[in-house]
Chains A and B, each alone.
Chain A
């Protein structure tokens, strides 16, 4: 599986990862609408974005009543089929990392799918603080 990892020492908190993420996935800009979240000023000085862990043993997949969420080993992430999603919120409630939400507009689950390999957030990070980890 692949996941996006961060070096918090380098993160400047500029939110460009979240801005491009929201743009690619929703069509507009708002860091709160990205499928990553930035914790500003943890301990007063750090900024650290949090990303979907693309768990191999993913709770979201287990609790999804419609099999909208699946582990796609070939692509390396937990995929989401919004056609199948009924927006019940089980995944949001159970994700231990708070990295899957119900989108307020579509009322469907919303999560990182590595932009199908494009990982725009990694490309746009001006501090080179993000990378893709594969195991």
Chain B
């Protein structure tokens, strides 16, 4: 029997229910389950930080098997954006939920005191987390493992989550996070510090021989992909020189698209400071992570995973920081305190620019300037603890912070309240559209059309015009549908650079006994996008919320190959019109059924 665990923190109670077959058949798992369960559990007027909000950890049918590069997701209503939120994490935690026997763990209500939960197969217990209060994520994890056993895998929040910072993350076992959108604050609002899970059940597949053959084929595809080779060798920092070349590296609060010291952020710089070895998530042959201990320079001794591309972009270039040891320290601090590095970098970049332009009292403080690592460190600590007026405002994210600073609208960079990622879109309108229409706000992981816009990939046999808007909507829709469909499995984005849609289909069919046709992904993806749109419309979002921030619309890019370009209002309108029409939505982006 396939099962889901439903926990009610109001009563410290739980029930184990059978996963409905209709849900599995229609929505597969992961994001698919998410859109359905979200509408069942979360009302249009449910406040994100109220006990009525629900947090769901959901895995997919291939999570926990030998199939390469699968993850799990966390779904809730975001306190940062007010939209639907799906946040994904690799590592080992989602697999452990599967081994404990569950497709999903659904958490409702609010505990009366700080609590953590242990899940050992069907044995579920509630414990006081009073002594874990204020602890960093590694301390929390260690204390729980010391008490209950090292087989447990831990998901927990840090002080930022406890203090309801709107972009607090959920740390999912060592070095992996459900980073975006503030799910950590939702757990904090529920007084839930951690979940500790272990499981001894087997994950079975339907056609053993066929499944192993499909896995072998997927491994072969990964081995033959040049992009995967780059992830294997350099991890995500391999994207720094690429983003720099095409002028999409966010620099100094997105003012520029190139950073004069970008070389200092590349893999080589990290190899010179961190003692590095490969680090993989469960079942993944790519190993894009590189772990090590800082062996020289400042902050010697810190153990860190590779500083990922997004963090290098937002904490590095966007804050004008180029000393890799400083960036490692700040990334480590964000991880430990439980802050999303993208939103943290976005928020601090915003305040640095504000300090140079505004006479507001709270900004008259020394050190609020690009390139000042000491100030960044202090702000990160204060944001996590909401200490002081300025940090307390920044803990709310750029959208809310900008309301406190008159005139800051023109340089407040977010979409639907989500600080944008490290792909500054002015020289790539398709990427702009992808950010505008992403269901959780400004996110690059729902579609990433950049390689098509730069001419590295052809769209339907044609080279696209980089700066034009024609065909960008159909490209973005294709990519969004594909990725959302594969997020029912739940795939890792990087795996998709090697594994073919056909291989995903055969792995799923052999594992489950389904007989899904080859055109299935686009159909399933389109259905999921309709559902997340429906959810966001019900939360009050509309066409007006689907536009880029002023910086990308009114300010021509000052540098790089797309210098002088911006994404005009009419470009955005044309792309949105195309996008809504191709999705079958009306001109206001509403569903007709």
Contacts and interface: CB of A to CB of B under 8 A. Distances in A.
Interface of A: 9-10, 12-16, 19-20, 22-23, 26-33, 40-41, 44-47, 104, 124, 126-127
Given A12-B287, A14-B287, A41-B174, A30 B303 contact: no
B292 interface: yes
Contacts of B99: 30, 32
18 contacts: A9-B277, A14-B280, A14-B282, A16-B66, A16-B283, A19-B283, A28-B204, A29-B64, A29-B203, A30-B64, A30-B199, A32-B151, A32-B198, A45-B275, A45-B292, A45-B293, A124-B66, A126-B287
Contacts of B279: 12-13, 47
A87 to B, nearest CB: 16
A44 B293 contact: yes
B208 A30 contact: no
Given A13-B280, A23-B66, A126-B280, 8 more contacts: A12-B287, A14-B282, A15-B282, A29-B203, A30-B99, A30-B199, A30-B203, A32-B151
B98 to A, nearest CB: 9
A126 B284 CA distance: 9
B277 A29 contact: no
A26 B204 CA distance: 10
Contact of A32 (B199, B277, B280, B283): B199
B202 A28 contact: yes
Contact of B202 (A33, A46, A127): A33
B66 A12 contact: no
B45 interface: no
Given A19-B66, A44-B293, A27 B287 contact: no
Overall SS of chain B's interface? loop
A40 B92 contact: yes
Contact of A15 (B174, B204, B283, B289): B283
Given A12-B278, A40-B174, A45-B277, A28 B203 contact: yes
Given A19-B65, A29-B64, A32-B151, A14 B202 contact: no
Contacts of B198: 32
A33 B254 CA distance: 49
A100 to B, nearest CB: 17
B480 to A, nearest CB: 29
Contacts of B201: 28, 30
Which A-B residue pairs are the 10 nearest by beta carbons? A28-B202, A126-B285, A14-B280, A12-B280, A12-B278, A12-B287, A29-B203, A44-B303, A28-B204, A19-B66
Contacts of B283: 14-16, 19
Given A16-B283, A19-B283, A127 B278 contact: yes
B280 A22 contact: no
Contact of B284 (A14, A22, A28): A14
B272 interface: no
Contacts of A19: 65-66, 282-283
A99 B66 CA distance: 22
A46 B277 CA distance: 8
B144 interface: no
Number of contact residues on B: which range applies?
20 to 34
B200 interface: yes
B467 interface: no
B291 interface: yes
A91 to B, nearest CB: 19
A87 B368 CA distance: 67
A30 B278 contact: no
Interface in B166-224: 174, 198-205, 208, 219
A14 B285 contact: yes
B281 interface: yes
Nearest to B305: A45
Nearest to B173: A40
A9 to B, nearest CB: 7
A27 B66 contact: no
Given A16-B66, A30-B202, A45 B280 contact: no
Residue of A13, A28, A127 ringed by the most chain B CB atoms within 10 A = A13
B274 to A, nearest CB: 10
B217 to A, nearest CB: 14
Contacts of A9: 277
Contacts of B287: 12, 14, 126-127
Given A23-B66, A32-B151, A45-B303, A104 B174 contact: no
Residue of A32, A40, A45, A46 ringed by the most chain B CB atoms within 10 A = A45
Contacts of A22: 202
B495 to A, nearest CB: 13
B200 A14 contact: no
A75 to B, nearest CB: 25
A44 B289 CA distance: 14
A33 B200 contact: yes
Interface in B448-478: none
Contacts of A10: 277-278
Nearest to B293: A45
Nearest to B121: A104
Contacts of B66: 16, 19-20, 23, 29, 124
B202 A45 contact: no
A32 B197 CA distance: 13
A109 B452 CA distance: 55
Contacts of A40: 92, 174
A27 to B, nearest CB: 7
Contacts of B205: 28-29
Residue of A9, A29, A40, A127 ringed by the most chain B CB atoms within 10 A = A29
